[in-house]
Amino acid sequence: MFLRNNWPGILWFVIIILATTLPGSYVPHVLSFREWLSPDKIIHLLLFAVFVYLWMTGLSKQFKNAFNRYYIPAAVLILGIIFGIFTELVQHHLIPGRHGSIYDGIANVTGCLTGWGIYYSPNIKFKQKLES
């Protein structure tokens, strides 16, 4: 049951791990951080928005009682934020040619909050298609 409901989140988790642990020579270099919405920051934001959204969708299908409906979203958001910060620390300290950045961490956290907001947004029509 867990795998059936959460395989998209698990797959996305693996994609993030692979993308954030590639050595620096394999990652396209962003010349500078002159704009907040640089391609690098948008990628970080999207990776973590999708991550949180997929996990919230999968776990909400699996756990439908009232207790879990209130605590699982908070846990997913908190764990997503911790994971986003952890990836930056790993990049900075363990991956050759990669440098963790406070701005990338902020983009990761913003992505987590964005995914959480999209999940709870009543105006998102594709959410209904994904949940059916």
Q: What is the pLDDT of residue 121?
A: 85
- Please state, as a whole number, how many other Cβ atoms lie within 10 Å of the Cβ of residue 62: 13
Of the listed ranges 44-53, 65-74, 103-112, the one predicted with least confidence? 65-74
Record the pTM. 0.77
41 vs 55: CA distance, rounded Å:
21
- Six token digits for residue 64: 């439908």
Length of the chain: 132
Q: What is the pLDDT of residues 27-67, one digit of tens each?
A: 455 555 455 557 778 889 999 999 999 999 888 888 877 77
- Spacing of C-alpha 4 from chain mean position: 20
pLDDT of residue 83 exceeding 90, the answer is yes
